Amino acid sequence: MAILEDPLRLVIGDKAAKPLEKALELRAVGDLMRHYPRRYETRGELTDLASLTDGEYVTVQAEVAKVTSRPMRNRRGSIFEATVTDGHGMLVLTFFGRGRQDWRERQLTPGVLGLFSGQVSTFRGKRQLAHPEYELLDAGEDAAHAAAEYAAEMIPVYPAAKEITSWQIARSVRVVLDVLDVEDPMPRAIRDRHGLCGLADALRGIHRPVDWADVQRSRHRLKWDEAFLLQVVLAQRRLAAAAYSATPRPRTPGGLLDAYDARLPFELTVGQQLAGAQIADELALDHAMHRLLQGEVGSGKTVIAVRAMLQVVDGGGQAALLAPTEVLAQQHYRSITEQLGPLGQAGELGGAETATRVALLTGSLGAAARRRALLEAASGTAGIVIGTHALLEEQVQFADLGLVVIDEQHRFGVEQRDALRAKAGEGRPHLLVMTATPIPRTVAMTVFGDLEMSTLTELPAGRSPIATHVVPAAEKPHYLERTWHRVREEAGRGRQCYVVCPRIGDGPGSVSGPDTEDAGQADTAQDDAEQAGGGRPPIAVLDLADDLERGALAGLRVAVLHGRLPPDEKDSVMLAFAAGSVDVLVTTTVVEVGVDVPNATVMVIMDADRFGVSQLHQLRGRVGRGRHEGLCLLVTEAEAGGKSRQRLDAVAATLDGFKLSRLDLEQRREGDVLGAAQAGRRSSLKLLTLLQDEDLIGDARKEAQHLVEADPALAGQPTLATAVRVLLEREQAEYLEKA
């Protein structure tokens, strides 16, 4: 008998095991059992040969139509050709032999049905498989291929490789299934409640189904396994996190927070009040808060973060705010210092009595400024320390770190989160993670499943609407002219404009390329085949800025911003734009996250089809932040009706970030959404799809939560405990590989 953890070679032998490991990385019995068929051929139903494309490795079911054999012209040996058919199309199988190939001729006789596997190519206008592997489906002369092998009506077709064919995999699967002894990790009660079949049944049913119902039942159960296991891990993490002690920082009446609230020029929205209250309560507890705050672009997350930080400072601790880019760190520093006024000027003339200090720590600080910031953090003088990745460096120390706030989480991995938290010494700081990209519920449950969640759904009152239009620059060049005309009009009214390009371009003495400071989101549009512009490179900041200054926007104050500028120049450009002394900022996506200039009203996005849906939504959120209406123009040369255009139309049609993030998820590979930091998670989800299996994931989460609450160490569920251990080891291994 074999169990899932056994090495494959012990069960199927070295010879069969080797190609499985080499080509498909299947080492243990469980790996092979979770290498699921891609599809099923129904016995006797021929594969549509017209669907084949060159270069593909395929396994087709077809019937031999005719065969020919001839000697090779220049060498000894023969060429044997069999033409197979699906009833309409033809496919030529070519075999080269050293001698005569009579034996093949005896096997591949007209009328015989078989599975043929190889790489598709075209030779002299005919589709062919050169030297395919094959397996005949009729119990013909060769008794080894007898009926027993293909007793089932449904023939699984596996993801295969050059080294190993689908039916070789199928054969190993059968050997394993015959000796497999699985214990079911899922508690009986849960299976019963959700009508799930046993694991042994499900594995048999997915590999050797009797009918479609069998496949469905088995898949459903195996999806549950994936969701449930992951949720058990997350539930354990939540529980473990809750057990970490933290210093309670209850609200202090008459402290900085009260003074800050009194200074606020607006009322908090209901959502802000609710989220704020949740956070305030959790900060007062003696175990660490782990909360995700998600909200639409412009919903006012920063204020919530500042209020949480001040509560901690009032309680004698420090707070660190981690931002993904230098531009954003600078902006936070400026706006928070400004909002605090005298409350942030401890030790300065005019500083309030209870005041604290705000320090900024980024990679580009001069030596003196850096030393000062490090000192303020280490001594505790700075209650609030804002920074980029530089905050994670070893030299950075805090006197008493009580709260870590991470802005725009999607750019940080779990390990960075932990690196910063580790600076709190004993115990743990409270943690607040903010994400600007609204995430569908299931993704939140899967990727951020170890965090509690607050969501801001409304925007502050008085926000002006944003109108979005697609500008089809190829079909209607005059629309582009009109775009620049609009920019001039807005500038004439004293307002400002962003023009975003996908690329920096060739500055003097530097190479061309995408903006490196913006290493965050994978740009899915990038490899979209029907993308605009054919072979031309994407529009570049430096080129366009030059053109506009000389042409369409002559006379306006145009500045450029991108990740290759020296940091202090970046900062001064941003400052100038914020101060209104620049009319038009031509920039890369460094402005994507968080940048807040209320006087900016127009966002022009060039080659908009090169950006992902969520990214466009983020960019658009940079305008319409003040009293004036926002306008977002998506300039593209992508063809009307094509996929890229549909994506842009969708962005133009709604301002609902949650809707758009679902769309984004549909269009990206799931692995990209789960993110690089979640490598193990990616490979553990084989059948589960985050969008379609929402209910299932929700149910699995509830069950997992109950189970783990009652039995945190899974002492009563040894099989489940083993499965969890295997998952974690794998996640760990993949993480190390990546690092």
The residues binding ligand ADP (CB under 6 A) are: 266-269, 272, 295, 297-303, 436, 460, 594, 596, 598, 625
Task: Specify the residue, 19 or 276, whose C-beta has the smaller distance to ligand ADP.
Answer: 276
Distance, in Å, from the CA atom of 78 to the CA atom of 222, rounded to the nearest integer, reads 49
Nearest to 470 by CA among 461, 462, 480, 460: 480
**Distance between CA atoms of residues 713 and 232, nearest Å:** 11
* Beta carbon nearer to ligand ADP, 247 or 618: 618
Shortest distance, CB of residue 626 to Mg ion, whole angstroms? 16
Residue 295 interacting partner from Mg ion, ligand ADP, none (CB closer than 5 to 8 Å by kind) = ligand ADP
Sign of CA dihedral 533, 505, 326, 576: negative
Bridge partners, residue 177, by sequence: none
**521 contacts which partner out of ligand ADP, Mg ion, none, CB within 5 to 8 A by kind?**
none
From the list ligand ADP, Mg ion, none, partner contacted by residue 272 (C-beta under 5 to 8 A by kind) = ligand ADP
Least Å distance between CB 596 and Mg ion?
7
Q: What are phi and psi of 233, to 5 degrees?
A: -60, -45
Partner from Mg ion, ligand ADP, none contacting 266, C-beta within 5 to 8 A by type: ligand ADP
**Total residues at the site for Mg ion (CB under 5 A)?**
1
Task: Please tell me whether residue 709 adopts helix, strand or coil conformation.
Answer: helix
Q: Which is nearer to ligand ADP, 315 or 594 (CB)?
A: 594
Report what 96 binds from Mg ion, ligand ADP, none; CB cut-off 5-8 Å by kind.
Answer: none
Q: Which of ligand ADP, Mg ion, none does residue 468 bind to, with CB < 5 to 8 Å depending on kind?
A: none
Q: Smallest distance from the beta carbon of 302 to Mg ion, in angstroms?
A: 5
- DSSP structure class, residue 189: H
Min dist CB 22 to Mg ion, Å, is 48
DSSP 3-state helix, strand, coil percentages of the chain (rounded to 5)? 45, 20, 35
If the CB atoms of residues 538 and 598 are measured against ligand ADP, the closer one turns out to be 598
Specify the residue, 207 or 332, whose C-beta has the smaller distance to Mg ion.
332
Longest dimension (CA), the chain: 101
Closest chain position to ligand ADP (CB): 300
Q: How do 113-123 and 126-130 pair as beta strands?
A: antiparallel
The residue (of 563 and 594) whose beta carbon lies closer to Mg ion is 594
Angle between the N-to-C axes of helices 567-579 and 326-340, in degrees from 0 to 180, rounded to the nearest 10? 50
Secondary structure (H, E, C), 645-704: HHHHHHHHHCCCHHHHHHHHHHHCCHHHHHCHHHHHHHHHCCCCCCCCCHHHHHHHHHHH
Choose between 459 and 688: whose C-beta lies nearer to ligand ADP.
459
Residue 132 interacts with which of ligand ADP, Mg ion, none, CB < 5 to 8 Å by class: none
Strand pairing class (290-295; 430-435): parallel
Check: CB of residue 391 under 8 Å from CB of residue 323: no
Answer yes or no: are the C-beta atoms of 591 and 566 closer than 8 Å.
no
Helix (H, G, I), strand (E, B) or coil at 316: coil
Binding residues among 566-605 for Mg ion as defined by CB under 5 A: 594
Q: How far is the CB of 198 from ligand ADP (least distance, A)?
A: 48
Considering CB distances under 5 to 8 angstroms, the limit depending on partner class, which of Mg ion, ligand ADP, none binds residue 331? none
Chain centroid, CA 79 distance in Å? 50
Site for Mg ion, residues 377 to 436, rule: CB under 5 A:
none
CB of 291 to Mg ion, least distance (A): 16
- CA 135, CA 171: separation in Å to the nearest integer? 11
Q: Smallest distance from the beta carbon of 299 to Mg ion, in angstroms?
A: 9
The binding site for Mg ion (CB under 5 A) comprises 594
